[in-house]
Structure 1
Amino acid sequence: MDDPPLKTLVVDDEPLATERLQLLLARIGGVDLVGTASDGEAACRMAEALRPDLLLLDIAMPGMDGIDVARTLAHSAGRPAVVFVTAFDQFAVSAFEVEAVDYLVKPVDPARLERALQRARDHLDLRASGTAPPPPAGRYLDEFWASDLTGLVRIRSIDIDRVSAERDYMRLHVGTRSWLIHHSMAALEEGLDPAVFVRLHRSAIVRRDFITGFQRNASGRWIARLGDGSEQPVGRLYADSVRAIAGR
């Protein structure tokens, strides 16, 4: 028997973003769009009245933002599952602190939205059965959107070889190409899966399987050899990472 449609409330202060989500949901199917709201206060009122299963919720809105909406509804009866849909990937850690089911970065990829809807269904099914839902599958960032001369480029986290800091920006290195994003190194360290990435320096994060070896320089400091033939000095504060990777 098919699952009942997800009663869904879309919350975004940008009419074009709301319209795009409505079109995507119509194409995917399995969703009953019960309403749209353009600010946080309206979202809370509508959620209380309509009792949706799911909120597709923007974060950066005037007044009450999406994080505040999620915190408010977390204490309501029959609280909805929350999937954040935002143009800003730097909010991911805060989003999962309020137990969001998933986190999508605009412009939303249809296949990625479909996966988020399935995660919401699984989350609601587990909660209905009395089983504690597992930690969100999207606890760590799995994609970034960066600007280039043609517009926006989607970069999968798993494709990133290393990250280097450039003042207030981070450079994502993928093969011979790289892109700048406005982020902090600390937020990236929290947002990237530590089973996949390791911080080796205050200005460098490297994918673990991109590291081919370590050696010491003349002063005794560790140097990581990387898959593209380059080398990354290991900061003294991160020497324990070398020992952990090498199992020593």
Structure 2
Amino acid sequence: MIDLVGTASDGEAALRLIEALQPEMLLLDIAMPGLDGIGVAKAMEKAAHRPAIIFCTAFDQYAVTAFDLSATDYLLKPVAQDRLARAVSRVVERRREPADERPASEYAQEFWVPHRSEMIRVAAQDIDRIEAERDYMRLHLGQRSFLLHQTITELERRLDPANFIRLHRSTIVRRDRIARLSHDGMGVWHAVLTDEERIRIGRTYLPAARALMGR
């Protein structure tokens, strides 16, 4: 059962209501007069009471920032009722978890990527490889792929180095997807993945790649 305890038309009013009402969950738009939704979420990082945040907005370019601010979900307008219901259910489930059972890893366990009119959750463990495409990163998951608006350097920092390795200035690969390393002569090496995809290893990243072989 969800109770609506208050509404606000701008960010400053939202902060006053949050302080007064101490809600467990916020539904935030990005575009608001004065302080925007991202500003409200940033203010919550310093607050003693931190409600769960679900963004409902027409702008897809703020999704990475939103999840960096620990948003539970990021919904694109027009918001489907069942999609909102799933997001709210996720908040309820997380609130029921004992604090000591919640994941505390400093690395990202999941990414939210735009797909048509929705934001899709991609688990980090399901990613096979990542390739740079200009200002975007393409996340490959089996036969599917999704674009994430982030630089490869930023994304590399968010990934657990125990699970992922950078092989080229434009490529990151999940370690357990590497089947073998192939030396093709003239100092050229490739990583051959479990699906037989060949990834050229950049000279800068070759020492780390060869360390996989214990060399």
Structure 1-normalised TM-score? 0.64
Alpha-carbon distance in 2 for matches of 1:174, 1:114: 26
CA 1:37–1:198 in structure 2 vs 1: closer, same or farther (change >3 Å)? farther
Give me the identity figure in percent.
Answer: 41
Match of 1:49 in 2: 20
Q: Does 1:89 align with 2:59?
A: no
TM-score (norm 2): 0.72
1:120-173: CA deviation from partner (whole Å, max 9, x where unpaired): 444xx64xxxx8x863799443442234xxx55736234432221222232233
The 3-state SS of whatever aligns with 1:224 is strand
Structure-2 separation of matches of 1:89 and 1:177 = 20
Assess if the C-alpha contact under 8 Å between 1:170 and 1:183 holds in 2: yes
Aligned mates of 1:72, 1:231 — CA distance in 2 = 45
**2:120 alignment counterpart:** 154
In the alignment, structure 2 segments of 5+ residues that lack a partner are: 77-82
Q: Does 1:104 align with 2:73?
A: yes
Distance between the aligned counterparts of 1:67 and 1:153, measured in 2? 17
Matched residues in 2 for 1:63 and 1:193: separation?
37
Matches within 5 A, 1:1-248: 29=1, 31-59=2-30, 61=32, 63-76=34-47, 78-85=48-55, 87=60, 88-91=62-65, 94-95=68-69, 100=70, 102-107=71-76, 108=83, 110-122=85-97, 126=99, 135=104, 139-147=108-116, 154=120, 156-157=122-123, 158-248=125-215
Whether the 8 Å contact between 1:141 and 1:191 is mirrored in structure 2 is no
Instruction: Give me the CA root mean square deviation.
Output: 3.5
Cα offset, 1:202, TM superposition: 1.5
For structure 1, the residue ranges without an aligned partner over 5 or more in a row are 1-28
Distance 1:226 1:118, change over 3 A: same
Instruction: Give the count of matched residue pairs.
Output: 204
Extract structure 1 runs of 4+ deviating beyond 6 A. none
- Residue 219 to residue 139, structure 1, CA distance change in 2 (3 Å): same
Distance change >3 Å, CA 64–CA 166, structure 1 → 2:
same
Q: Tell me the CA shift for residue 203 of structure 1.
A: 0.8
